[in-house]
Structure 1
Amino acid sequence: MRMRFRSLESRIVTLFLVLVVAVQLIGLLVIQRGIDNNARLAISSELNNGSKVFRRLLDQNAQSLRFGARLLARDTAFVAAIGNNDESDRATIESALVNSGRRIKATLTMLISSERKISVSTNNGQSAALEKQVVSMLDAAEASDGANGIAIVDHRPYQIVVMPIKAPITIGWIVMTFPIDRQLATDMREVSSLDTTVLTRDPQGKWLAVGSTFGGPTAQTVVDQLQALPGAPAGPFDLMLEAGKYSARLLAIGQYGDQTANVLLARSIDEATAEYSRLERWLIGLTLGGIFLSALAIVFTAKRIAQPISELADTAKRLEQGDYKGQIDTSREDEIGALAHAFDAMREGIAKREQEIRRLAYWDTLTNLPNRAQFVLLLDDALAEAAKREESVFVLMMDLDRFKHVNDVMGHSFGDALLRQVAGRLQLLLANRRQSSAQVARLGGDEFAVLLPDSDLDSAQRMAAEILQALETPLSLEDQMVDIGAGLGIAGYPEHGNHGEALLSMAEVAMYAAKQRNDGAVVYDAAMDKSSEKSLSLLTELRNAIERNEFRLHVQPKIMLDTGKVVGMESLVRWVHPERGNVFPDEFIPFAEQTGFIRVLTRWVMEKSAELCHELAAKGYPLKVSVNLSTRDLLDQDLPAKFAETLARHKLAPSSFCLEITESAIMDDPVRAQNTLERLSAMGVDLSIDDFGTGYSSLAYLKRLPVNELKIDKSFVLNMENDVGDTKIVRSTIDLGHNMGLRVVAEGIESEAVWRLLAELGCDQGQGYFMSRPIPGDQLIAWLEKWQAPIAIPAPDYSEVEMGS
């Protein structure tokens, strides 16, 4: 069976084959590296020994020269000829020098007189070049009965021997030179099997081959590669020549002035490793054979492992497709057999659980009604059938009223029982109308939907009316009578949409519109979605406004009506939109309260008010700042803690704030509101009832609230001087507030006459356009410095005003 790439079988084969090949190759590389290292160690040893051999050759040449020179220096006739110092004996001396030099193959033989001058020479050119070095060797030669050294003449190295002539005192010196050239290199090659090249190097660093066992082009290649090196290598180095790769060593044999004489000893690496080539071929053959045999064993083993697993994989695919009837081979006794047994047990378990999962996935466990997923499937099927028959389909969606309140007050178990009764009532209603194709579903929470295939708008509206009427009948649960209602929206195909999710969304939009209007069922209209889009856009703009710092803090002063002293200010928010300019609170505050964004806005106002309050106190204006709280703020149980953090951050006392609450905000959830207000009051914060007189709250309940102030709504104050009824209401409110121990503040003062009238009625404080319109917070200090009361009263002294006043 052919292996597939990425299959388990191919992966096993690949993995183990790679491991085997890697091990074999690593072993081969290690062996080759060992052979190369051994060869290089052997070559290095040969080069070291070669260096010793070459020096020994030089010593032997020097001994030969010294022996020849010594024979001549002790020749009686030659000594006598020198001692006579006669011109007639010069020919005899020259003849003796020539014959002696010829016998030992010296290139130069000369006689140095006792005055240390060259008296006779067989090569005047060389003798003149060597005179200086020879003279420097005379003393050493006389002391040691001879001396030898290296000299370089015309870029060629020579071995020099100086021997004193004594009779018995020194009467002269014999000097002989021997060339270090190709002949010596050849001798070295014969003795050590090392290729030898004699080199000199001039003061400019240029190398010159004097003699070499390499051929002409190869010798020049050696010079070129040496020239490319930065200096004379101290140890072994490699050379790439036409004949192959060589390991070489440079041996310095002497220096003459700025010139040096060197010998390059080289050994062919290929020749040194030739002995191991047969062994390497055997190793490569064994490696390939081992890889081939290993591959066969690996493939066989992989098939034994992977084939049963492949069969189980095919079984798993059948299970995936819902086929639970296939047989699984469980005859094996190894781990794969255990896996097959597990697969067989899993097949039975999956079959049972799939039925339960489908029920849980598509049916609501609380009411045994289809859930949202199942309802969408049913709706899509109904739409497809309606498209074929050119019929209409309508969807009703409803959301129960006050269900959250029932859950909060009576508990979740009571709420679950209520939902079951609502589901039963809806099912009974459809059964009584014999709507066999209609389907009711619970979409989640307290939302229900009804599918009406093959229906028209009139039928859908009648059905909606009957559902609302059925839900209006009180439910009896655990000896409790519960009144419920619902907001119901209607959307249909093809009038409103073509897709199931779109129809549900439209019905939901209509449902929320119905809950707002509180006037029966509402049929979807495209204008409702535009309103939703506008609301969504406004919420996004509000969030951006916070991030972009588009809100501005404005304040309106609060003034004592009897003295004209400024004792506080009310914080107000304004929105400076980058495109629409100034946006007034009436345009965005109600929406912020609806969406819950008001909590973010309240925290912003508190933060900015605290900054301004701290700044005013530092400059000698300790004013109490009033901030409005919404219904959502009162229901936030974390509000006191957040407010305490703000006060601590700006180092303010709680008494520097007065928090204003409307009657309607308190009465939406009196229990939670009172709990929040009591915690704020315990901190030392003043509390005020704003817009007093416009709500429907109970005075007995208000008496229990921990408030310090009543604010008379401006609707009663604006026309006081012309309307006796308004004046009576204001007088009664002032008396009521004082009787309850509260200070009374009037808002909406727009004339001096109203101010004086309020002062006469005993109103404590006031604010309005007559004193000041709302102004930016950063302009308040300038306003305070210019403020003058319109009645004859003493000038206000802010140093006597405390933060708690």
Structure 2
Amino acid sequence: MRLRFRSLESRIVTLFLVLIVAVQVIGLLVIQRGIENNARLSISAELNNGGKIFRRLLDQNAQSLRFGARLLARDTAFLAAIGNNEEGDRATIESALVNSGRRIKASLTMLINSERKISVSTNNAQSAGLEKLVSSMLDAAEAGDGANGVAIVDHRPYQIVVMPIKAPITIGWIVMAFPIDRQLATDMREISALHTTVLTRDQQGKWLSAGSTFIGPSAQAVVDQLQALSAAPTGPFDMTVETSQYSTRLLSIGEDNGQTASVLLSRSIDEATAEYRRLERWLIGLTLAGIVISALAIVLTAKRIAQPISQLADTAKRLEQGDYKGQIDTSREDEIGALAQAFDAMREGIAKREQEIRRLAYWDTLTNLPNRAQFVLLLNDALLDARKREEAVFVLMMDLDRFKHVNDVMGLSFGDALLRQVAGRLQLLLANRRQSSAQVARLGGDEFAVLLPASDVEAAQRMAAEILQALETPLSLEDQMVDIGAGLGIAGYPEHGSDGEALLSMAEVAMYAAKQRNDGAVVYDPAMDKSSEKSLSLLTELRNAIERNEFRLHVQPKIMLDTGKVVGMESLVRWVHPERGNVFPDEFIPFAEQTGFIRVLTRWVMERSAELCHELASKGHHLKVSVNLSTRDLLDQDLPAKFADLLARHKLSPGSFCLEITESAIMDDPVRAQTTLERLSAMGVDLSIDDFGTGYSSLAYLKRLPVNELKIDKSFVLNMENDVGDSKIVRSTIDLGHNMGLRVVAEGIESEAVWRLLAKMGCDQGQGYFMSRPIPGDQLIGWLEKWQAPIAIAAPDDIEIAVDS
């Protein structure tokens, strides 16, 4: 069984193995510690008992000696022999002492006479060594019917018994000596299983062995280790004899003239713990077996836990790669089985959602046709096959005519139904032609495309003609008959391009050319792209102009015609091109409106205008700044919020601005335009209708707009001094504005006579070259300081207004 490093399985196995081994080892150490302590306690108890046993042996020997001495001391013949005190009796006494000592295995028997002198002795050498000690024991023996003690003669310990001889008074003492030697140690060993060593220590501290159950070098090793100690130990201590460890205890058994007699009891630790060691080996064996069995169980359990999870992880990887067909085992009834069931449900859910996402990503939900992304994939596949077979592929792109008008008039749901019918007609057309390889798609909005593999330009043109003919038949929707046409462009491989996106772009260029020419279907021509390239170049230059700060803010003052007071200014934009010099608005504003860049430009103009207005107000010039809004600006539903943020940042009131809108901008989408204008008006911003009179707006609708000002287009003002028709239009516009409660502004004033004429008609404000051409914004303060209105503003009586009677 192989475990992968850092896997869940290996971590489970490692964790539980470590825990089990730790528990087993700790348990084993605790047991070993307990065995050691119990063994020590047992040995200590044995040594304590051994000391008692040894003393009991000494007592038994003493009793035996006293009993033998007592028998001799009461023997009638022995008493008579002592009483006669003749030479023959001396031999009798000596024989009695020898026989009595032999019976009780005494090493020395002697008689002390009444003068307390050694009278007879079986060992004169020992007698001399014992004389002093025996003399000290005579009184105690006489008083207590005998006394015993320990004597040391020639570094050997002896157990001494002194028994008085009374007849009836004390006439002497019998002394018997019993050697404390290896024989006593052997007896002790047989009784207690303790090694016994009899030792003496002289006045210089030298230890000598008087008998030991240790043999040879072992006995000498005991003496040597004791000699190495600085003092005689008082408690149990360990000793190493050869290779064995012993726990020992030293007992003092007597003292004689500065010399001590001791016995060393030793218990083998190895022997005492032998049974424990066998138990310990069993425990170690059981521990190892338990670890091995536990390890196997852990590995199997870990595999049972981790393998299903690993299988789920592999399934997740397949899901990541888009494979949703793998089966998951959900037969288990535990938590992992529940996880597998949840995972399987998730897999099915993801597969369904993936399928739905792919459908949404590559299929048009309205018509159920391939969308642009799917069409590009189909086109690229067709191009790949065409290269292999050396065939041609053509793309047809069409855009419906008047579809926006249908949406505006009939509503979006009607427009959606119209698109579905168009899609149905195209599919039916391809089905009737049995073009199994042809594919129709909806690219977006009212744009459709048809892919024609293995085709040529003539076949593509025939298909285009059939499509246009199919669309000529009016569509019936909700009891409404709708006539609809289309502009259709054709591009093909390899004649026009080899890339799918490039072919679509070329077909789109041809389609727009067809709509401009109103020519049905148009085959792509490279010459058509020149204007497109120019437009793309201009758009790029406009974006760079913003980033490089190439635009400049110019302003044209607005003046009260009756007093000559400057009350406002109109903000205008100029483009200082690094190569072409000054570029006037007429050259780039229309293009900016077409491409949507006008919103960026409007935001720039409003930002610079707010900065200038704030600067003028700080210097005491409170002028209302007018800014033009385009159609795209009006359709931006976020325009009021953006404008409010602008005012807040520059600390300006809404009344500081007047936003100018053309009639055509309003009428392009009246509903949305009115919504935006109402929100701006509610903020307190003045609104102005610019170029009034040049559009086709309804006065009834205009009445509902929340505007504050009408600006008369300069085309009526420039020549009104000489043109009766222009004068009538201007007068009518002024009266109309005043009747609707609006302020009227005339632009294009280029002479004092026109000024006075407008003032006579009651026009409120004016602007034009007569007062000032558009000047850079940073020069306006200097111009204001120099501005002087004409001396007489009111029109004199001799000025006649050109009117047609």
Q: How far apart are 1:500 and its partner, in Å?
A: 3.3
Contact preservation (8 Å) 1:24, 1:287: no
Equivalent runs, 1:353-432 vs 2, <5 Å: 364=364, 366-372=366-372, 374-401=374-401, 403=403, 406-407=406-407, 410-432=410-432
Distance 1:19 1:485 in 2: 77
Q: 1:737 to 1:519 in 2, by over 3 A?
A: farther
Identity %: 87
Distance 2:231 2:461 in 1: 119
Contact preservation (8 Å) 1:558, 1:567: yes
2:15 matches 1:19: yes
Runs of 5+ in structure 1 lacking a partner? 35-186, 194-278, 795-805
Q: How far apart are 1:630 and its partner, in Å?
A: 1.2
Q: How far apart are 1:494 and its partner, in Å?
A: 1.0
Deviation per CA, 1:563-605, whole angstroms, max 9, x where unpaired? Answer: 4332221111234556765443334433332343433433443
Q: 1:282 to 1:569 in 2, by over 3 A?
A: farther
Equivalent runs, 1:89-108 vs 2, <5 Å: none
Deviation per CA, 1:130-155, whole angstroms, max 9, x where unpaired? Answer: xxxxxxxxxxxxxxxxxxxxxxxxxx
Matched residue, 1:590: 590
* AA matched with 2:503: L
Equivalent runs, 1:500-579 vs 2, <5 Å: 500-511=500-511, 514=514, 520-525=520-525, 542=542, 550-576=550-576
2:710 matches 1:714: no
Matched residue, 1:113: none
Q: How far apart are 1:662 and its partner, in Å?
A: 0.9
Matched residue, 2:602: 602
SS of residue in 2 equivalent to 1:707: coil
CA RMSD of aligned residues (A): 5.3
Q: How far apart are 1:611 and its partner, in Å?
A: 3.8
* AA matched with 2:585: P
Contact preservation (8 Å) 1:635, 1:673: yes
Matched residue, 1:622: 622
Deviation per CA, 1:258-294, whole angstroms, max 9, x where unpaired? Answer: xxxxxxxxxxxxxxxxxxxxx9999999998876655
Contact preservation (8 Å) 2:662, 2:690: yes
2:667 matches 1:667: yes
More displaced 10-residue stretch of structure 1: 684-693 or 718-727: 718-727
Q: 1:25 to 1:722 in 2, by over 3 A?
A: farther
Matched residue, 1:452: 452
Q: How far apart are 1:394 and its partner, in Å?
A: 0.9
* AA matched with 1:636: D
Q: 1:31 to 1:639 in 2, by over 3 A?
A: same
* AA matched with 1:774: P
Q: 1:373 to 1:628 in 2, by over 3 A?
A: closer
Q: 1:510 to 1:347 in 2, by over 3 A?
A: same
User: TM-score, normalized by length of structure 2?
Assistant: 0.56
SS of residue in 2 equivalent to 1:440: strand
2:688 matches 1:688: yes
Deviation per CA, 1:90-131, whole angstroms, max 9, x where unpaired? Answer: xxxxxxxxxxxxxxxxxxxxxxxxxxxxxxxxxxxxxxxxxx
Contact preservation (8 Å) 1:553, 1:608: yes
Matched pairs, number: 558
Distance 1:683 1:351 in 2: 51
Contact preservation (8 Å) 2:555, 2:776: yes
Q: 1:480 to 1:31 in 2, by over 3 A?
A: same
Q: How far apart are 1:556 and its partner, in Å?
A: 0.3
Distance 1:192 1:521 in 2: 128
Deviation per CA, 1:384-409, whole angstroms, max 9, x where unpaired? Answer: 34334322211112233554565566
Q: How far apart are 1:517 and its partner, in Å?
A: 6.2
Distance 2:311 2:615 in 1: 81
Matched residue, 2:747: 747
Distance 1:330 1:358 in 2: 28
Q: How far apart are 1:473 and its partner, in Å?
A: 4.2
Contact preservation (8 Å) 1:694, 1:713: yes
Deviation per CA, 1:26-76, whole angstroms, max 9, x where unpaired? Answer: 679999999xxxxxxxxxxxxxxxxxxxxxxxxxxxxxxxxxxxxxxxxxx
Q: How far apart are 1:779 and its partner, in Å?
A: 1.7
* Larger Rg belongs to: 2
Distance 1:388 1:569 in 2: 67
Distance 1:582 1:188 in 2: 121
* AA matched with 1:15: R
Q: How far apart are 1:683 and its partner, in Å?
A: 4.7
Q: 1:645 to 1:12 in 2, by over 3 A?
A: closer
Matched residue, 2:239: none
Q: How far apart are 1:621 and its partner, in Å?
A: 2.9
* AA matched with 1:11: S
2:473 matches 1:477: no
Q: How far apart are 1:606 and its partner, in Å?
A: 3.1
* AA matched with 1:553: L
2:613 matches 1:613: yes
Distance 2:559 2:436 in 1: 72
SS of residue in 2 equivalent to 1:593: helix
Distance 1:606 1:668 in 2: 23
More displaced 10-residue stretch of structure 1: 286-295 or 393-402: 286-295
Distance 1:479 1:600 in 2: 44
Distance 2:541 2:307 in 1: 63
Q: 1:485 to 1:190 in 2, by over 3 A?
A: farther
Contact preservation (8 Å) 1:362, 1:372: yes
Matched residue, 1:676: 676
SS of residue in 1 equivalent to 2:7: helix
Matched residue, 2:777: 777
Contact preservation (8 Å) 1:567, 1:623: yes
SS of residue in 2 equivalent to 1:496: coil
Distance 1:493 1:644 in 2: 53
Contact preservation (8 Å) 2:399, 2:511: yes
Q: 1:294 to 1:585 in 2, by over 3 A?
A: farther
Equivalent runs, 1:108-507 vs 2, <5 Å: 191=230, 295-301=295-301, 364=364, 366-372=366-372, 374-401=374-401, 403=403, 406-407=406-407, 410-433=410-433, 435-507=435-507
Contact preservation (8 Å) 2:562, 2:759: yes
Distance 2:10 2:413 in 1: 62
SS of residue in 1 equivalent to 2:744: strand
Q: How far apart are 1:303 and its partner, in Å?
A: 5.6
SS of residue in 2 equivalent to 1:564: coil
Matched residue, 2:34: none
Deviation per CA, 1:644-672, whole angstroms, max 9, x where unpaired? Answer: 55445555554443221111111101233
Contact preservation (8 Å) 1:28, 1:283: no
Distance 2:753 2:631 in 1: 35
Q: 1:681 to 1:321 in 2, by over 3 A?
A: closer
Q: How far apart are 1:450 and its partner, in Å?
A: 1.0
* AA matched with 1:426: L
Deviation per CA, 1:506-527, whole angstroms, max 9, x where unpaired? Answer: 4345445555666544444556
Distance 2:480 2:314 in 1: 60
* AA matched with 2:459: S
* AA matched with 1:612: L
User: TM-score, normalized by length of structure 1?
Assistant: 0.56
Q: How far apart are 1:619 and its partner, in Å?
A: 3.3
* AA matched with 1:417: A
Distance 2:329 2:568 in 1: 89
SS of residue in 2 equivalent to 1:448: strand
SS of residue in 1 equivalent to 2:602: helix
Q: How far apart are 1:553 and its partner, in Å?
A: 2.5
Distance 1:323 1:552 in 2: 60
Q: How far apart are 1:309 and its partner, in Å?
A: 8.1
SS of residue in 2 equivalent to 1:423: helix
Contact preservation (8 Å) 1:709, 1:742: yes
* AA matched with 1:387: R
* AA matched with 2:394: F
* AA matched with 2:422: V
Deviation per CA, 1:146-197, whole angstroms, max 9, x where unpaired? Answer: xxxxxxxxxxxxxxxxxxxxxxxxxxxxxxxxxxxxxxxxx9996499xxxx
Runs of 5+ in structure 2 lacking a partner? 31-225, 233-278, 795-805
Q: 1:409 to 1:732 in 2, by over 3 A?
A: closer
